[in-house]
Structure 1
Amino acid sequence: MNDIIEALDASVRSVCGKYDEANRRNGWNPALWSALESIGVTTLSVPEECGGSGGDVATAVAVLEVLGEHAAAVPYAETALLAGRLLSGCGVQVPAGPLASIVVGTELQVLPTSGGVHVSGIARRVPWARAAEHLVVLVEDRVILLRRGEGLIAEGANLAGEPRDDVAFDCAVPDERVHWLRGESARVVREQALRTTLARAALIAGAARRALELTVTYAGEREQFGRPIGKFQAVQQHLAAMAGEVVLTKIAVEAAAVAVDEDNGAEVAVMAAKTVAGQAAGLVASLAHQIHGALGYTEEHPLRHSTTRLWAWRDEGGNEAACSAVLEQHVLAAGKGGLWPLISGHVSVPTKESL
């Protein structure tokens, strides 16, 4: 962790600590969002010329880890990594306030009109749609900026209670809110998918760390047979297994963020990170609840807010099976002698035939 990320980590952690209780009560925490805006992190990976703070993906991922740890009820990934990236990719200013992003699918139609476009249809399970001031829609080589009131929202939620809303559109959008991408649209779509996957892996890294901390504390306080349960070898083995998964996930996520920034083996790194994070989510949640017993499942206990997010985020952005399938394709495409360069990114090991 460099000095900038360390200072940013401390600042975000301090802000989040003031709103932990509100995160547990509500599906959306506008007070925390305002506090994050005040310290300038909500558009961290957006270039300064587009109204952002000019940070890189690795820095934004460091913030996401802290937000995941605190179960922060804010659309940070959707604003900083996804919607903000789409708008800045068109060279336009990113508006203030929380954002949500939509990649047009078969149920959403965008047709040209004399003064702009007409958007109709339904976007399913849009993260944080009800909280967003603007909805940023990617369709082919255009990015369309919609106001929240231009869509009819049917509220939904994931397993952790985070907003995953259906939004029905039937509205005209003027030309000034229709922007053209500067890059190849297919590449932008792939980048959006990778950033979504990386964001969920980073959030898992934070939530897993929080689950471990809560479990270590509980194991040191809960007594059985006259001593803390953390003194029993079986519990110690569980804690050690959890700690190993937490560290591995953090390393994989941060390596993937660097790969995205450097555009060097990004897909392999991100898919590997999400696979590791998904496996860690299952093990950490299982062992945390095993050590806590029934207490950890109650509405009032903070562990539930971490583990339900681990389960929800594990399936979002591609689960282990989906990410592993992508990795398999890369391994097969690398062919004989290509596995090590694929893993290392740049180091080649001589084969027997080349000696």
Structure 2
Amino acid sequence: MRELFESTIERLLSDLCTPDLVHEAESGEWPAALWRALEDNGFPLAGAPEVAGGADASWADLYVIIRALGRFAAPVPLAEMIIGNWLLEQAGLGARSDILSFASETSLTIGEGRVSGGLAQVPWGRFADSVVALAGDNAGQTHVVLLDVATAERVRQGTNIAGEARDHLSFSAAAVVMSAVLPPHLADDVLLAAGAMARSAQIAGAINALLEMTASYAGERKQFGKPIAAFQAIQQQLAVLAEQAAAANVAAEAAFAGADQRLPMFSVAAAKVSASEAASQAAAIGHSVHGAIGFTQEYALHMLTRRLWSWRSEFGSSTFWSKALGEHVCAAGSADFWPMLTNPELQDLSTTQ
């Protein structure tokens, strides 16, 4: 299934997710044709059970889909929809086929089937039909809630530096479409972790594309009568870029491989730290090798680097996740350090965003 997903999504995005389409999306236009093609191929429901119209794919299978979104800078909430449907299924609410996003930064309260509060930095919020979030009640329980975006009292539009929609939604006694108590095997920061895992995969895909673009340019651009790739300084930078691409891919894929009903928080934290740090180095090297052309609007390099700069901070920066990892390691102590690295049961992290 993984090979089928990878070949199909790569071919689809290669054909449809062109630089012109990304530019139009950054100007505020919804890429309807791209989304329709993704729906026709079943990607929004890829992780849902077969009875819900999905492929019942594992996180390990879904990795190649989400990585491809980063590789082609796809301006659609496919990763967010996969995560939202996964949480709805975990809560017993069932997957949705309408455009779905989720929010990890919330101040929602729920009572008598209605919610009030706000959702911050909702990916593609203005384009979504519904949004998944967590809300607390007066008894101290956390609920998974599905909200109709149309019931938001206010939608304050915003974007990240890549031009991707990151909106704030406010609700006042809005009716809940569906809700259920958060399953006990999931922590209150489950959406933060899921978002961090997805962004790690997208960063890995974007760095892979950046590496290909930069190596190709270095092989074509000539200086002093020979390609700049022949110069040792450029070779060194390309080697470091390849190292960062490999590190980000391995870390992100490890997190996806260990995910099931419960996300591997230790691996997710390690993946987000590795990917975020790789994003910074990769973007710097990409622009350094390309020189002045890399800063022009007409050249596609910025579509990748602006996303790397944005995604490295979303759902927890490298500093945030490094702190969570460091505190967990220190709390375990020297005697439990090696067992903690080798035993997933000792790797539970608690985070505070």
Q: 1:38 aligns with which of 37, 40, 53?
A: 40
Q: 1:156 aligns with which of 137, 140, 158?
A: 158
Evaluate the alpha carbon distance shift between residue 343 and residue 267 of structure 1 in structure 2; reply closer, same or farther with a 3 A threshold.
Answer: same
Q: Deviations over 1:170-205 (max 9, x none)?
A: 35416xx232136128x2423222111101111100
Evaluate the alpha carbon distance shift between residue 215 and residue 67 of structure 1 in structure 2; reply closer, same or farther with a 3 A threshold.
Answer: same
Name the SS for the 2:259 alignment partner: helix
In structure 2, distance between residues paired with 1:231 and 1:77? 39
Q: 1:16 aligns with which of 4, 13, 16?
A: 13
Q: 2:265 aligns with which of 250, 264, 267?
A: 267
Indicate if the aligned counterparts of 2:105 and 2:120 stay in contact, CA closer than 8 A. Answer: no
Cα drift, residue 301 of structure 1: 1.2
Q: Deviations over 1:94-127 (max 9, x none)?
A: 2213211135733x44332xxx32x333322211
Evaluate the alpha carbon distance shift between residue 188 and residue 34 of structure 1 in structure 2; reply closer, same or farther with a 3 A threshold.
Answer: farther
Name the SS for the 1:183 alignment partner: coil
- Alignment correspondent of 1:73: 75
Name the SS for the 1:42 alignment partner: helix
Evaluate the alpha carbon distance shift between residue 337 and residue 121 of structure 1 in structure 2; reply closer, same or farther with a 3 A threshold.
Answer: closer
Pairing of 1:168-179 with structure 2 (within 5 A)? 168-173=170-175, 177-179=177-179
Q: 1:342 aligns with which of 326, 332, 340?
A: 340
Residue identity matched to 2:318? E
Indicate if the aligned counterparts of 2:116 and 2:170 stay in contact, CA closer than 8 A. Answer: yes
Cα drift, residue 330 of structure 1: 2.0
Pairing of 1:1-355 with structure 2 (within 5 A)? 4-21=1-18, 22-27=21-26, 28-81=30-83, 83-103=84-104, 105-106=106-107, 108-112=108-112, 116-117=113-114, 119-140=115-136, 141-151=142-152, 152-173=154-175, 177-181=177-181, 183-184=183-184, 187-261=186-260, 263=262, 266-345=264-343
Which residues of structure 2 form unaligned runs of 5+? 137-141, 347-353
Evaluate the alpha carbon distance shift between residue 103 and residue 283 of structure 1 in structure 2; reply closer, same or farther with a 3 A threshold.
Answer: closer
Cα drift, residue 46 of structure 1: 2.4
Q: Deviations over 1:207-259 (max 9, x none)?
A: 11111111011101111111111111100110010001101110111111112
Residue identity matched to 2:87? L
Cα drift, residue 326 of structure 1: 1.1
How many residues are aligned here?
335
Name the SS for the 1:126 alignment partner: strand
Evaluate the alpha carbon distance shift between residue 36 and residue 331 of structure 1 in structure 2; reply closer, same or farther with a 3 A threshold.
Answer: same
Cα drift, residue 30 of structure 1: 2.5
Evaluate the alpha carbon distance shift between residue 268 and residue 144 of structure 1 in structure 2; reply closer, same or farther with a 3 A threshold.
Answer: closer
Name the SS for the 1:261 alignment partner: coil
When normalised by structure 2's length, the TM-score is 0.88
Cα drift, residue 50 of structure 1: 4.1
Q: Deviations over 1:128-186 (max 9, x none)?
A: 10111112232134333222221232210001111001112235416xx232136128x
Residue identity matched to 1:326? A
In structure 2, distance between residues paired with 1:121 and 1:179? 16
In structure 2, distance between residues paired with 1:156 and 1:46? 30
Indicate if the aligned counterparts of 2:118 and 2:168 stay in contact, CA closer than 8 A. Answer: yes
Name the SS for the 2:188 alignment partner: helix
Evaluate the alpha carbon distance shift between residue 172 and residue 275 of structure 1 in structure 2; reply closer, same or farther with a 3 A threshold.
Answer: closer
Indicate if the aligned counterparts of 1:153 and 1:168 stay in contact, CA closer than 8 A. Answer: yes
Evaluate the alpha carbon distance shift between residue 193 and residue 346 of structure 1 in structure 2; reply closer, same or farther with a 3 A threshold.
Answer: closer
Cα drift, residue 346 of structure 1: 6.8
Residue identity matched to 2:132? V
Name the SS for the 2:335 alignment partner: coil
Question: Which 10-residue stretch deviates more, 201-210 or 134-143?
Answer: 134-143
In structure 2, distance between residues paired with 1:241 and 1:203? 19
- Alignment correspondent of 1:351: none
Evaluate the alpha carbon distance shift between residue 161 and residue 104 of structure 1 in structure 2; reply closer, same or farther with a 3 A threshold.
Answer: closer
When normalised by structure 1's length, the TM-score is 0.88
In structure 2, distance between residues paired with 1:220 and 1:55? 39
Residue identity matched to 2:181? L
Higher alpha-carbon Rg: 1
Evaluate the alpha carbon distance shift between residue 103 and residue 322 of structure 1 in structure 2; reply closer, same or farther with a 3 A threshold.
Answer: closer
Indicate if the aligned counterparts of 1:46 and 1:52 stay in contact, CA closer than 8 A. Answer: yes
Residue identity matched to 1:87? L
